Chain A
């Protein structure tokens, strides 16, 4: 009997959808907009997060050493820095590596390379790139290195330059900008999503409002509440599924079009590639949002006509 009921409810839900063609169409369209808003939230979040971590990874304290500093002295400071609780990672660039990087950077600049070739010795010193766990802590780390003032065996300070001070202002500003952008975009998108969910709810309720007479007739022939609500919920879920498919299809050209734009503007994230790479996740989020919103709207929409 339960199986028969489920079958009947599914069938009735499908017929509801099909025979109320225009109402279904408008509900699907409104829900598509809601789901696109949810999709926009996903992409917005990803873009901001990648930008933030990219920028964070680009700032850091660079400690440059004099050419006479030995590798052991440099590595000794590295170990000390790594022991600090504020420090996330320390990258060591040896003198040879620095030279190789320099050469690679100026590969198409003959004169510079020629000048470099004239020199007997590698003019570049080793360096340490320090990354903090939190951008606000760079000042502390820079201070720490400067205060140490390590001297080499022959009495000369091995640290040539700590370049935090150059970036301090930028780091602080970026941190502020990013966090306020993040807050603002979360608020804006949340409002957008809530508004579109309310519109969807209202559209579905309106669709059910046209059926209120039917619901009262169903009550009077003795149908149980579940048996009356079931088909409406099935119809709502169908709105969600179809709107989900439309949204996912629309996101393809949207992200393709925006892909190049975001790649140039935001640090190298191409939303189109992201969309393709995370299709499974996005599919799941959009589809389940559609299904849940559809089902809940129908449930709420029918509820008020059931209390006879």
Chain B
């Protein structure tokens, strides 16, 4: 469903972020990408989001070549992907409810859908009691769960999470990992990068290990080996 075909990325200063990467991910898979900083994990995710273009090769989502999309098509395409960041990136001037509602509004959903879906998705991440709080009033783990709720509220085909537990304490990390597992069980493909050995071991799914812009290992039932 996501297919990287001989993808390379070389930045203007000649530094190589990705070197001849080829792999594919099936629907409903849970894939963890591990590797040192600068291994190319984030660049890989940015390509799926159409934030970066490959210098060579192409990235496919289903049968669409992502790099050939036009500007408004990119907007439509991004609504099929949910994104979670290490630093949460919630809208600071909007409440929890409005943060999630915004993603739905952007996707063109109507008010009735928003009113019924937002509380529902907050229940899924166990935050229905914080619905009217602002992000600054929440703990790191809670903010990340709001971010996850926002990422999944439009029922995306894929959820991409870039180091989602990087800023969290062990207990919050555990909560967040459980939420991702739950979402995956409900049938959504998840692509997650991490440094955290505990997270990889707890997930126990497919692990892609990257180094220096290449794929070092791709284990269907892997652990954290670096």
Contacts and interface: CB of A to CB of B under 8 A. Distances in A.
Given A1-B108, A4-B111, A221 B102 contact: yes
Contact of B93 (A16, A216, A220, A224): A16
Interface in B95-111: 102-103, 105-108, 110-111
B51 interface: yes
Contacts of A213: 89
B184 to A, nearest CB: 20
Nearest to B111: A4
Interface in A34-48: none
Given A1-B108, A222-B79, A227-B106, A308 B51 contact: yes
A19 B134 CA distance: 11
B74 to A, nearest CB: 8
B75 A224 contact: yes
B49 interface: yes
A217 B108 contact: no
User: Which of A1, A216, A225, A308 has the most chain B CB atoms inside 10 A of its CB?
Assistant: A308
Contacts of B183: none
A15 interface: yes
Contact of A222 (B93, B107, B111): B107
B92 to A, nearest CB: 7
B158 interface: no
Interface of A is mostly: helix
Nearest to B77: A222
Given A8-B105, A221-B102, A227-B106, A20 B79 contact: no
A89 interface: no
Contacts, number: 53
A300 interface: no
Contacts of A214: 91-93
A227 B92 CA distance: 18
A221 B93 contact: no
B69 interface: no
B70 to A, nearest CB: 12
B83 interface: yes
A217 B110 contact: no
Contacts of A218: 91, 102, 106
A113 interface: no
Interface in A208-236: 213-214, 216-225, 227
Contacts of A224: 72, 75, 106
Given A4-B111, A308-B51, A223 B106 contact: yes
30 contacts: A1-B108, A4-B110, A8-B105, A15-B93, A15-B94, A20-B93, A214-B92, A217-B90, A218-B91, A218-B106, A220-B49, A220-B78, A220-B83, A221-B78, A221-B79, A221-B102, A221-B103, A221-B107, A221-B150, A222-B75, A222-B79, A223-B75, A223-B102, A223-B105, A224-B72, A224-B75, A224-B106, A225-B71, A227-B105, A227-B106
Q: Lowest 3 A-B CB distances belong to which pairs?
A: A223-B106, A222-B79, A222-B78
Given A214-B93, A225-B71, 4 more contacts: A8-B105, A218-B91, A220-B78, A222-B75
